[in-house]
Amino acid sequence: MSLFDKFKEVTRKVSEVESNIYHEKHDYLEIYERNLELEKKIAERTEELNDANKRMLTLQHIWDMMNSSTPLENVLEAIVNSTQGELGYMHCAIIRKYEDEKGVYLQILAQSNDSLIDRLNNMIGGTGIQTRRLNFDNDSVFADTMRQRTIIQTRDIDLSLKAVLPELSNETIKKINSNQPVKSVIVVPLITQNKEFGWFCVFSSREELASAEMDFLGLFAKQIEMAITIADLFQAVRDQAVTDSLTGLYNRRYFEESLEKEVQRAKRQNQPFSIIGIDLDFLKKINDTYGHGYGDLAIKTIAEVLKSNARSVDVAARMGGEEFNVLLPGISSEGAMVAAERIRKSIENTEIETVGHITGSLGVATFFEHSENIEELLELTDQAMYTSKREGRNRVTLAKPISETSWQEIAVNTFIDILSKNRLPIAKNISKDLYKKLTSPIKKDELTKDSLFNVADILAKMYNPMHSSGIVKNKVIMAVSLAKRFDLPKEDIDNLRVAVLLYDIGNLLLPQDLLQKATPLSEEEKEQIRNHPVIAARKILQPISYIQDVLPIIEHHHENWDGSGYPNHMSKEEIPLTSQIILIIDQYFALIEPRAYRPKMSARSALEVIKADAGKKWNNNLVKEFISLIEHDIV
């Protein structure tokens, strides 16, 4: 091969190499450009995924709040702040549609905290836009979205603002919208349970709304609607749990919860509060004469009176039946008496169709002044209310502190409590008759002596058919005479009087065939009998707060001096003297009355039995004084 040929060959090969290099370079450039495009798409998709993730996290956060006990206003605030902050909007708000006697209007329920709303509030002045009654314009974007049930984006921010704040001048609106980055407003209608609720409004720095963004805002609106629905249902359930269905007042449960909170507040601030108890007079007569429908109408009438006379901080509640209570925070007894008298007059002046005028009996008690114990305060309120009933009804009575309450009033109110709250297994008609005997309007001085002893005798006869009328009165007189021989203080003697009336009431919870059994009792039956002091003290009387000092007397009235008694096998000075007095008097009257298993004894024979147990059942001194007392009467 010639030199020229070799040169041509080299040139050809160089050209081939250059051509290959060029093509490879072109391929590399194409790959590089494709990589740049791919990286750009990856970045876009990553940003979209990040936005979607933010949206999903926001939705999850809202869903978690909706499924907790978080109040609706807190959920809505979280929604607007999350939407504005996490999703990059300029401002967000939830607006509700209302209607009253003045017409339809709008109000902001929640709005995000941002510089845009601060700017708006500064320019419009006053307390800001959230507290204002906003205008509803049927030609506005808000009305359009609701009519069409669709999301609408508008760039006409001036017109949107003018629609809700028509009182603002055009110049002010232009100032508000000048030099700010908002380019459009997105209005999303909110429909809950097929009712027009309001709108979810988003202020965006973008003029166009992407389809994905539209879908997301629609999904977000559904979450808001669900949160509102859940809150409405929760509120409805809560209202049912704390309100009385007939009257719409609060129920006993809510009243008692409010009372506990008020006690803490009163102690912390050293302020009194008062309770007014109201009882509708003659409800049974209304029911019997006109029917239960009119009885319910009378009850609802009192409820309306309480609603119209209550302050916003007062708690008016139906406690059950025809009884109501009103809690008056920060009010002394003097102020409570004025409020109670106002309620009484309002009830009296209200006329019901067919029935005519109704009345109520009211009682007032005040925390600190009358008691610092909740249960006792409620009992005192009831006592005062019952006093109003006994003294003629349609009046207001101020409670007395326990220290100033006579033993007769305590005993009467205890029987009223037992009968009205069905603490005893007796027929309803008998319970009502006994209740009537205690609450009938008679002279105050005669109340305790006649009706009180009469009711106690009737109850005693129910578990002891051989019981003679007048025996309870004789027992009380004898117990007081014996107690005075030991110089017991007046307080102890008064407690003894009440205990004598109540000590055997536990027998009403025992089987009647057991009490009247003529043959010897088995050990199991004896044990049942031994439990009756505990039954009386703990099951029947313990819930009544103001007779707690009487309970030990009753519970230990079968304890023997030598420790052989029951229920706690106490002995000697461990046993209250008042309990020993009841035991010896009970034994004496049991001996001189007939029983199913034996005839009655003479007074002297009964004393011989008691003498035989001196130092065993009773203190020797007690036996000595008792015999002296009885022998004085039988000589």
CA-CA-CA-CA dihedral for 432, 436, 437, 439, to nearest 10: 140
Domain boundary among 217, 240, 263: 240
Per-residue pLDDT, 349 = 95
Count each helix (H run) and each strand (E run) in the chain, helices first: 25, 13
212 & 297 share domain: no
Backbone angles phi, psi at 593, to 5 degrees: -105, 150
Residues 476 and 592 in one domain: yes
Which of left, alpha, beta for 598 (phi over 0: left; psi -120 to 50: alpha)?
Answer: beta
pTM of the model: 0.50
Count: domains in the chain: 4
Residue at 396 is within a domain: yes
Q: Among 77, 213, 262, 322, which one carries the catalytic annotation?
A: 322
19 plus 128 within the same structural domain: no
Q: What is the pLDDT of residue 635?
A: 42
Q: Are residues 301 and 159 in the same domain?
A: no
Whether 550 contacts 499, CB under 8 Å: yes
| Annotated catalytic residue 608 | no
Neighbours of 491 (CB within 10 A): 11
CATH number at residue 380: 3.30.70.270
Cα angle vertex 316, ends 312, 320, to 5°?
165
Q: What's the domain range around 229?
A: 72-240
pLDDT at 445: 46
Residues 224 and 125 in one domain: yes
Which tokens hold the place of 515? 């009490």
Q: Rounded to the nearest 5°, which phi and psi values hold at 109?
A: -85, -35
Name the burial class of residue 295, with classes exposed (0-12), middle (13-18) and buried (19+) by CB atoms within 10 angstroms of its CB: buried
Nearest alpha-carbon partner for 544 in 583, 484, 498: 498
Domain boundary among 405, 439, 465: 405
Backbone dihedral angles phi then psi of residue 423, each to the nearest 5 degrees: -80, -10
How far CA 560 is from CA of 169, 191, 611, 619, in Å, comes to 95, 77, 14, 9
Query: What pLDDT shows up at residue 376?
Result: 83
Does residue 354 form part of some domain? yes
Q: Cβ(610)–Cβ(629) under 8 Å?
A: no
Tell me, yes or no, whether 367 and 444 share the same domain: no
Rounded to 10°, the helix 471-485/490-502 angle is 150
Q: In what order do the strands lie in the sheet with 103-111?
A: 134-135, 103-111, 91-100, 195-204, 184-192, 152-154
Mean pLDDT by 10 residues, the chain (635 residues): 59 62 60 65 61 58 57 75 75 88 88 84 80 90 92 89 88 83 90 87 85 77 77 65 88 91 91 95 91 93 94 91 94 96 96 93 95 87 86 92 77 84 82 81 53 85 80 89 86 90 78 66 71 70 81 89 90 93 91 79 89 91 88 58
Does 62 fall in a domain?
Answer: no
